[in-house]
Amino acid sequence: MTNKINKNDQIKTDIIVKARELFKRFGLNKTTMEDIAQTMSKGKSTLYYYFSGKEEVLYAVAQKEIADTFGSILAEVEKQKSAQERLRAFFLKRFDVLEEKLNTYPAMVREQKKNIEIIHKIHLEFSLLERNLIKEILLYGIKSGEFAHINKKDCDSLAIAASTILSGIDIYTFVEGTVPPIGDQLNILFNITMRGVK
């Protein structure tokens, strides 16, 4: 009994591993159930004994990816003592992991593109204006003594960070087709950040 369940699971995870590899190499569209079956020297129908369909295979692969990724972040976080260092570790690791995934699944990333160039070009231009405005407001606040004194370079960095976050929200909005409903939350984040700037 336990033997059977084990064997079943073994094959399942084998499928997941193989599928994952193929997805990495060829992307979602170019990987067929036939391909997956062949790399395991099995018939295509056999896959359907273990998974209800391609989507479920993909889902299983994604689940594993999520678990692995989240695990590696968690590990990094738990190395740290203080909450501050934990948070910092989280963000840094999270950033690394994002880049790593981007490089791991180039085919899948490529599948998702079209002609964003124009909008991007336009958006970039707007971002530059915006970034300067943010910087000016910051400098204004520093000059008036309302904000703590920050050196010019950090001021620049802050503006860049802020504008990038906004760009992220822009593109998020663009892709989703709706503005993320987090007005209040951002407000609270803003208040706390302000406490730090003052």
Partner DNA sequence: AGTAGACTAAAACACAAATCGAGTCGAATG
Partner DNA sequence: CATTCGACTCGATTTGTGTTTTAGTCTACT
User: Which spans of this chain sit near DNA (rule: CB under 7 A)?
Assistant: 4, 7-8, 11, 29-34, 37, 41-46, 48-50, 52-55
Instruction: Report d(CA 166, CA 139) in Å as an integer.
Output: 20
Nearer to DNA, 50 or 135 (CB): 50
Q: How many chain residues interact with a copy of itself (CB under 8 A)?
A: 86
117 binds a copy of itself (CB under 8 A): no
In 10 A of CB 22, how many CB atoms? 20
Q: Return the one option of a copy of itself, DNA, none that residue 7 interacts with (CB less than 5 to 8 A, by type).
A: DNA
119-138 positions binding a copy of itself, by CB under 8 A: 119-120, 122, 125-126, 129-130, 133-134, 137-138
Q: Count how many Cα atoms sit within 13 Å of the Cα of residue 105 in the half-sphere of its side chain.
A: 18
In whole angstroms, give the CA distance from residue 177 to residue 171. Answer: 9
Instruction: Find, among 59, 54, 87, 61, the residue nearest to 73 by Cα.
Output: 87
Closest by CA to 46, choosing from 88, 102, 8, 89, is 8
**From 12-20, 31-39, 45-53, 82-90, span contacting a copy of itself (CB under 8 A):** 82-90
Nearer to a copy of itself, 6 or 74 (CB): 74
Binding partner of residue 164 among DNA, a copy of itself, none, CB cut-off 5 to 8 Å per kind: a copy of itself
144 contacts a copy of itself (rule: CB under 8 A): yes
**What value does the CA radius of gyration of the chain take, rounded to a whole number of Å?**
23
Structure tokens given for 27: 């992307």
Decide if residue 75 touches a copy of itself (CB under 8 A).
Answer: no
